Amino acid sequence: MLCPLFSHTRSLSPLSSLCFRFAGKERAFFCERSSNTNNHRRRRTEREFSHRHYIPGLAISVPLSWLIATNRYLYSALDFLSVLAVFNRPTNQTVMKNSTLGAPRNHSNYVIPGVYDLSVEDTNWVLTSSFIIFTMQTGFGMLESGCVSIKNEVNIMMKNVIDIVLGGFTYWLFGYGMSFGRGPLSNPFIALGDFMLDPPVGDALMGQIFAAFLFQLSFATTATTIVSGAMAERCNFKAYCLFSFLNTVVYCIPAGWVWGEHGFLSKLGAVDIAGSGPVHLIGGASAFASAAMLGPRLGRYSEGYDPLPLGNPVNACMGLFVLWWGWLAFNSGSTYGVSGSKWQYAARAAVMTMMGSFGGGFTSSIYSFWRHGGGMDIMDLINGVLGSLVSITAGCFLYRAWEAFVIGAIGSLFCVLAMPLFDRMGVDDPVGASAVHGVCGIWGVIAVGLFADNPIPLDTTNGRSGLFKGGDWYLLGIQTLSAFCLACWGVCSTFLLLYVINKIIPIRMDPHEELLGADLTEHRIRHSQIGLSRAISALAPIKVDLKDIAGIEPIGINPGHERSIDQLRAAEDKLQQWQSYLEQVSGSRANPKMDDGQSHSDINFKPRTAANVFNRRIPARRSISGGLYRSNNTELPVKGSVNLPHKPEKDPNFAWVD
């Protein structure tokens, strides 16, 4: 064992004390902080505040056994890793801190991250970025509603509203304090303090505090929204409201590990600029756990693993564009200002974000053309671009342009390969959030350890470079450890949270509600009767009484559905008229040899339905008419009635059918 057990004291271990003495002798770093509004210019030696800024040993070694019931070996391991981080830190760089927490302020009751020691220009940049990031909620809502069936599109939008309302409220109550709080009970696992944030009007740092909170709030609501898509079309709305209220804990604790002063990953040197790990990896891991625990939608895999038709492909594409726009603020805003040299890295972050998306779109396009024989699959392209954006987020201003392109391309490839893999595992994720945010989040965190540059004069990487940039294995090892810890936390905590919620409110909709759609059962929004075939075929072995479903009164119309039926009926009438005309003029032909009782029309014209004639003359319509005329015993759907075919068939040509 490397150091004695820290029971209930706040003293340092001998090893940590040695570490502090070494750092005090070897380092002579001066910090200068200026303000445009008052005379807050002061100079401090590192010896005065090294316990808060540069020496991880203090935060790791302070024992709070009342909160974390662990043994001496865990604390010994953390203490040892902290010392490694200190001795591994380069000492020959003059840097400007932008990724650690600041010291206490004389005129404020709160201690906020040092990156929010902002000038007026910096505050304006952070607030503007926060406003744009909130528009990503629109993008997520449009994308998810476009991927689900029409009977659930309103429900998925309501879930996004709940994510902001309930998730944002809990983040104000305790979420921000669990990530960045500065209290005597804070420890390497969780921060405690600054709950229900509300600095008084006379506080000199009121503006900076609120800017810090708003920016982090936009990240927290994004992490929760990622999960809603994976739970679409079969999650009880009331249970989801409770989940959204409590899911803040799932995000806030690991966010503190990476970005908080107390966090053990931060003290070990983990790097994540804009949230590939704390936001996207946590959201993707939670999405995977949620989809696995809920189980697949009714009838999802009854006819194979092919993806289901999109309810509204245009909405899905529009959602991509809104997310693309918001991602620029997501990454550029994470420079936390434009003063000094920050504006240069903000511009670089925006360009590298676009370069990564170029690589992702290029790769996913080639993959889709190859997989579909020259066709372009909508979800392959959309999720490929989103996966590349997730991959570039962790090190958005640490890469060169060609590196960003390569990282985005690799992330996109991982995404499009993971989506069918999860389907074959039985994890039904309607929007692919597990692959986009989970798999690409892991790659984005690890990519920093390979490609990152040391962004002088900023101290984002603690003076280290990636393995491919002349650095050693330390940064890659810490990034891998960070990805592992975040993925395990996201999956395990979500499973536990949903298990508890399921004991209170069933998280899965009952079969009748899922069959009718959440829009009708949860929000009293009426759509046409669509998507019955797949659900009924899945309910057959469950022996559910479907009499009440078969006798449902008409609940609205689908204009596209009705218009297509009217057009086909008109075409059928015209074809019948042409057939009668051809039969009349056929008598002018030479009389062939006939059997007894056989007429000219019997020889010249084989019996065929109007649909067959229609298909022969217009081959492009064969699949359409074949979907409506499935058999001689199946009638056309008639407005105001419910037709339940004996053998439901998949009709991929009509997105509105499913």
**What's the pLDDT tens digit per position in 287-322?**
999 999 999 998 888 888 888 888 889 999 999 999
Percentage of residues in the chain with pLDDT exceeding 90? 45
pLDDT of residue 113: 53
Percentage of residues in the chain with pLDDT exceeding 70? 64
- 64 in any annotated domain: yes
Q: How far apart are CA 544 and CA 516, in angstroms?
A: 14
The continuous run of DSSP H or E covering 43 comes out as strand 42-45
Domain shared by 357 and 244, yes or no: yes
Domain shared by 57 and 143, yes or no: no
Q: Are 185 and 64 in contact (CB under 8 A)?
A: yes
Sign of the CA dihedral with 20 first, then 24, 27, and 32 last: positive
Domain shared by 488 and 576, yes or no: no
Lowest mean pLDDT among 8-22, 76-90, 216-230: 8-22
Q: 45 - beta bridge partners?
A: 30
Lowest mean pLDDT among 118-132, 559-573, 578-592, 612-626: 612-626
Q: Are 249 and 496 in contact (CB under 8 A)?
A: no
- Average pLDDT value for residue range 143-168: 92
Q: 10 Å Cβ neighbour count for 117?
A: 22
- 236 in any annotated domain: yes
pLDDT of residue 559: 52
Is a pLDDT exceeding 80 seen at residue 1? Answer: no
Q: Which residue has the higher pLDDT, 401 or 641?
A: 401
Please state, in angstroms and as integers, the Cα–Cα distance from residue 104 to each residue in 262, 343, 375, 495, following that order: 14, 26, 59, 38
pLDDT of residue 299: 84
Average pLDDT value over all residues in the chain: 74
Is a pLDDT exceeding 80 seen at residue 38? Answer: no
pLDDT of residue 564: 54
- 564 in any annotated domain: yes
Domain shared by 40 and 163, yes or no: no
Domain shared by 174 and 277, yes or no: yes
pLDDT of residue 627: 36
- 592 in any annotated domain: no
Closest Cα to residue 231, out of 498, 419, 536? 498
Q: How far apart are CA 228 and CA 565, in angstroms?
A: 35
Phi, psi of 86 (to 5 degrees): -70, -50
Q: Which residue has the higher pLDDT, 578 or 41?
A: 578
Strand ranges, E, within 361-484: none
- 375 in any annotated domain: yes
Please state, in angstroms and as integers, the Cα–Cα distance from residue 10 to each residue in 13, 32, 186, 262, 613, following that order: 9, 30, 12, 14, 87
**Burial, 9: exposed, middle or buried (Cβ in 10 Å; 0-12, 13-18, 19+)?**
exposed
Say which CATH number the domain at 145 has: 1.10.3430.10
Q: How far apart are CA 559 and CA 565, in angstroms?
A: 10
For the chain, the 3-state helix, strand and coil shares in percent, each to the nearest 5, are 60, 0, 35
Phi, psi of 257 (to 5 degrees): -60, -40
514-547 pLDDT per residue, tens: 888 888 888 888 765 455 555 555 445 444 454 4
Among 441, 471, 504, the domain-final residue is 504
Phi, psi of 467 (to 5 degrees): -60, -40
Is a pLDDT exceeding 60 seen at residue 30? Answer: no
pLDDT of residue 333: 92
598-649 pLDDT per residue, tens: 444 444 444 444 444 334 443 333 333 333 333 333 333 433 444 444 444 4
Is a pLDDT exceeding 90 seen at residue 255? Answer: yes
Q: Are 168 and 45 in contact (CB under 8 A)?
A: no
DSSP 246-305: HTHHHHHHHHHHHHSSS-HHHHHT---SS-IIIIIIHHHHHHHHHHHHH-PPTTTTTT-S
Closest Cα to residue 77, out of 6, 175, 163? 6
Is a pLDDT exceeding 50 seen at residue 357? Answer: yes
Sequence-ordered list of residues with C-beta below 8 angstroms from that of 70, at least 6 positions apart, any chain? none
SS3 240: helix
- Domain residues for 566? 559-587+598-657
Q: Is 462 left (phi over 0), alpha (psi -120 to 50) or beta?
A: left
Among 463, 480, 504, the domain-final residue is 504
225-253 pLDDT per residue, tens: 999 999 999 999 999 999 999 998 899 99
- Average pLDDT value for residue range 96-103: 36
pLDDT of residue 533: 52
Domain shared by 489 and 450, yes or no: yes
Q: How many distinct structural domains can be found in the chain?
A: 3
Q: Which residue has the higher pLDDT, 153 or 76?
A: 153
Q: 235 - beta bridge partners?
A: 508
Domain shared by 55 and 186, yes or no: no
**pTM (two decimals):** 0.69
Q: How far apart are CA 467 and CA 470, in angstroms?
A: 6
Is a pLDDT exceeding 90 seen at residue 493? Answer: yes
Closest Cα to residue 191, out of 183, 202, 199, 200? 183
Sequence-ordered list of residues with C-beta below 8 angstroms from that of 545, at least 6 positions apart, any chain? none
**Burial, 429: exposed, middle or buried (Cβ in 10 Å; 0-12, 13-18, 19+)?**
buried
pLDDT of residue 530: 54
- 120 in any annotated domain: yes
Residue 487 in tokens: 């993925």
pLDDT of residue 512: 82
pLDDT of residue 169: 95
419-452 pLDDT per residue, tens: 999 999 999 999 999 999 999 999 999 999 999 9
- 500 in any annotated domain: yes
Longest Cα pair distance anywhere in the chain, in angstroms? Answer: 117
Domain shared by 389 and 271, yes or no: yes
Domain shared by 130 and 211, yes or no: yes
Q: 10 Å Cβ neighbour count for 638?
A: 10
Lowest mean pLDDT among 267-276, 307-316, 453-462: 453-462
- 134 in any annotated domain: yes
Domain shared by 123 and 65, yes or no: no
Q: How far apart are CA 540 and CA 493, in angstroms?
A: 35
Q: How far apart are CA 69 and CA 158, in angstroms?
A: 40
Among 476, 504, 532, the domain-final residue is 504
Domain shared by 38 and 84, yes or no: yes
Q: Are 411 and 390 in contact (CB under 8 A)?
A: yes
Domain shared by 330 and 458, yes or no: yes
Please report which confidence band the pLDDT of residue 337 belongs to, taking 50, 70 and 90 as the band edges: confident
Q: How far apart are CA 451 and CA 568, in angstroms?
A: 58
Q: 10 Å Cβ neighbour count for 202?
A: 7
43-57 pLDDT per residue, tens: 333 333 333 333 333
3-state secondary structure 79-138: HHHHHHHHHHCCCCCCCECCCCECCCCCCCCCCCEHHHCCCHHHHHHHHHHHHHHHCHHH
Q: How far apart are CA 569 and CA 576, in angstroms?
A: 11
